[in-house]
Amino acid sequence: MLEIVSLEKRFGQNTILRDVNIKVARGELVFIIGPSGSGKSTMLRCCNRLEEPSAGDIIVDGRNIMSGTRRDLDLMRLKVGMVFQGFHLYPHMSVLGNVTLAQRKALGRSRAEADERALDMLERVGLAHKADAMPSELSGGQQQRVAIARSLALDPLVMLFDEPTSALDPELVGSVLKVMKDLKEKGMTMLVVSHEMGFARETADRVIFMDGGVIVEEGRPEQIFGAPKAERTRAFLSRVL
Ligand code: ADP
Ligand code: MG
């Protein structure tokens, strides 16, 4: 569903990502771990060209988003949902307004269609009863679930998560992870950057350890957490676990 091929990213003289190759099969949850500054966010942002790769290819559902017209890119961008650490909801719009806006602007859905889809997705994240609330009336965990619903409402083929629970108070983390686990169980294809190692052990199909802009090793969660091969992986895990 998503294939990152020989991805390279440079900022000026600095090479931030070097020969990154990741394949995420349909329905798979691939988990990325690694120290701060290792290039995880940059890698995710390259997947929908929020950040322009210096070299390499990004293939979504068989289509290379590095080639093709501007319109092809806009269409494919909608197919790659992204959830960030901060929720970026519009503060002056209701929850329903936030979840319908891009559906109407980018997909041209009618208000009725967009409302229906939004309510379905809010139901899925357990927040249908908050449709008329303003973002400021919600907890951080609820705001993040709205951001997930907003993304899902655009019918993505794959969802990218960049530290979705890092900004949350500890007691709110579980509700967001539960939504992500539920998404995985429903067959969503997901690439997740997070420090929630317990969640990775429980739900990830594969774990990739990145450091210094390269993939150091990857494997099943029990292998990476239980018997990491590389010294750098062991050192990282001993700091965070
Ligand atoms: P991570 O998400 O793993 O913490 P990032 O992808 O945010 O890492 O950053 C990787 C490296 O790229 C860091 O050294 C960061 O300073 C650098 N970097 C990120 N964005 C830019 C940018 N727009 N310009 C220059 N350097 C950047
Ligand atoms: Mg980051």
- 51 Cα nearest atom in ligand 1: 23
The complex scores an ipTM of 0.97
Q: Do 113 and 120 touch, CB atoms closer than 8 A?
A: no
Give backbone dihedrals phi and psi of 172, rounded to 5 degrees, phi first: -100, -10
Q: Do 23 and 208 touch, CB atoms closer than 8 A?
A: no
What is the token pair recorded at 167?
């900004």
If you count them, how many residues does the chain have?
Answer: 241
What is the token pair recorded at 133?
């609330």
Name the DSSP letter for residue 129: G
Buried b (16+ CB within 10 A) or exposed e, 86-121: ebebeeeebbbbbbbbbbeeeeebeeeebbebbbeb
What is the token pair recorded at 187?
């067959």
Spacing, Cα 130 to ligand 1 middle (Å): 36
- The residue nearest atom 24 of ligand 1, judged by CA position, is 11
Series of mean pLDDT values for 10-residue runs along the chain (241 residues): 97 96 98 97 94 95 88 86 93 98 95 98 97 97 96 96 94 95 97 96 97 97 96 94 78
Structure confidence at residue 72 (pLDDT) = 82
Tell me the whole-structure pTM to 2 decimals.
0.95
| Nearest-angstrom CA–CA distance, 207 and 223 | 9
Helix spans in 83-230 (H): 95-107, 111-124, 140-152, 170-185, 197-203, 221-226
Spacing, Cα 221 to ligand 2 middle (Å): 21
- The residue nearest atom 15 of ligand 1, judged by CA position, is 37
The strand pairing partners of 73, in sequence order, are none
The sign of the dihedral angle between the CA atoms of 106, 107, 109, 113 is: negative
- The residue nearest atom 5 of ligand 1, judged by CA position, is 39
| Nearest-angstrom CA–CA distance, 168 and 102 | 25
